[in-house]
């Protein structure tokens, strides 16, 4: 039934940056979830969306993001927010991708900040840098900053399917954000919202075994 297993990267193959956002918010007494709120306000045209599509460079992103924060009455350091993207690999997820690659098409579908990974000193701490951990086990790594299109735009998933030469109903897609899963599901993909590593592993195994 399924031909392809598609994985988001940050929050799926790696730990989630949301925990780091929450830590920073506590450090400077920001309301819980304010960073995620900023990034979900005007989601197609905000600073975060523009940076993930590579529409703006790092310095312009920082300016725009801090202006968006100020508009909500908060002073937030955009550099510090970017530091929150320092995540760690989940070894069991990497092993899973490796195992699945012998039977299925596997791919990474990621919204990434390409420019932030170009700096050599930060290459090992930025999320996209860790993609090398699974690069040998996937057919393709599909990145928003290279396409100029990002999740949850339908075109992103259409490009992914075309690249992998599969139909949506032949795919299982794992992401930690419901907003990214909704259009994929509407297209016909089977979706898994990743809450934690064990839950994701269990749900995927159940789906692939037909339970």
One domain, residues 10 and 23: no
CATH of the domain at 107: 3.40.50.1000
One domain, residues 204 and 105: yes
For residue 142, what is the enclosing H or E element?
Answer: strand 140-143
CB 168 within 8 A of CB 186: no
Residue 202 burial (CB count, 10 A): 12
Say yes or no to pLDDT of 118 above 50: no
State which of 27, 50, 83 marks the end of a domain.
Answer: 83
pLDDT value, residue 46:
96
**Based on the structure, what is the number of domains in the chain?**
2
Helices (H), the chain: 18-27, 34-40, 47-52, 58-71, 78-83, 91-100, 144-147, 154-164, 178-187, 197-208
Q: Which of 46-55, 57-66, 107-116 has the lowest mean pLDDT?
A: 107-116
Confidence of residue 115 (pLDDT cuts 50, 70, 90): low
**Mean pLDDT across 47-55:** 95
- Alpha carbon separation from 204 to 79, 188, 196 (Å, rounded): 36, 16, 12
State which of 40, 55, 83 marks the end of a domain.
Answer: 83
One domain, residues 95 and 72: no
One domain, residues 102 and 173: yes
One domain, residues 134 and 204: yes
Say yes or no to pLDDT of 163 above 90: yes
75-110 pLDDT, tens digit per residue, is 999 999 999 998 899 999 999 999 999 999 999 999
4-32 pLDDT, tens digit per residue, is 999 999 999 999 999 999 999 999 999 99
One domain, residues 121 and 169: yes
State which of 63, 83, 103 marks the end of a domain.
Answer: 83
- Residues in the chain, overall count: 211
pLDDT value, residue 116:
44
pLDDT value, residue 113:
84
One domain, residues 203 and 190: yes
**Mean pLDDT across 160-184:** 97
Say yes or no to pLDDT of 127 above 50: no
One domain, residues 106 and 125: yes
Contacts of 196 (CB under 8 A, 6+ apart): none
CATH of the domain at 48: 1.10.150
One domain, residues 188 and 106: yes
Say yes or no to pLDDT of 126 above 50: no
State which residues form the domain around 40: 18-83
């Amino acid at each position: 039934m399924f031909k392809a297993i598609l994985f988001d990267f940050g929050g799926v193959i790696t730990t989630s940056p949301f925990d780091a956002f929450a830590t920073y918010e506590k450090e400077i007494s920001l309301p819980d979830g304010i960073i995620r709120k900023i990034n979900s306000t005007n989601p197609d045209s905000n600073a975060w969306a523009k940076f993930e599509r590579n529409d703006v460079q790092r310095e312009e992103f920082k300016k725009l993001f801090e202006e968006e924060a100020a508009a909500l009455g908060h002073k937030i350091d955009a550099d510090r927010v970017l530091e929150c993207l320092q995540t760690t690999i989940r070894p069991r997820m990497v092993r899973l991708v490796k195992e699945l690659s012998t039977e299925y098409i596997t791919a990474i579908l990621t919204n990434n900040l390409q420019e932030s990974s170009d700096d050599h000193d930060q290459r090992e701490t930025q999320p996209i840098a860790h993609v090398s951990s699974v690069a040998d086990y996937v057919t393709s790594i599909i990145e928003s900053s290279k396409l100029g299109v990002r999740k949850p735009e339908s075109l992103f998933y259409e490009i992914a399917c075309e690249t992998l030469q599969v139909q949506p109903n032949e795919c299982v897609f794992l992401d930690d954000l419901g907003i990214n899963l909704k259009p994929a599901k509407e297209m016909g993909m089977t979706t898994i919202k990743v809450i934690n590593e064990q839950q994701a592993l269990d749900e995927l195994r159940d789906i692939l075994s037909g339970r």
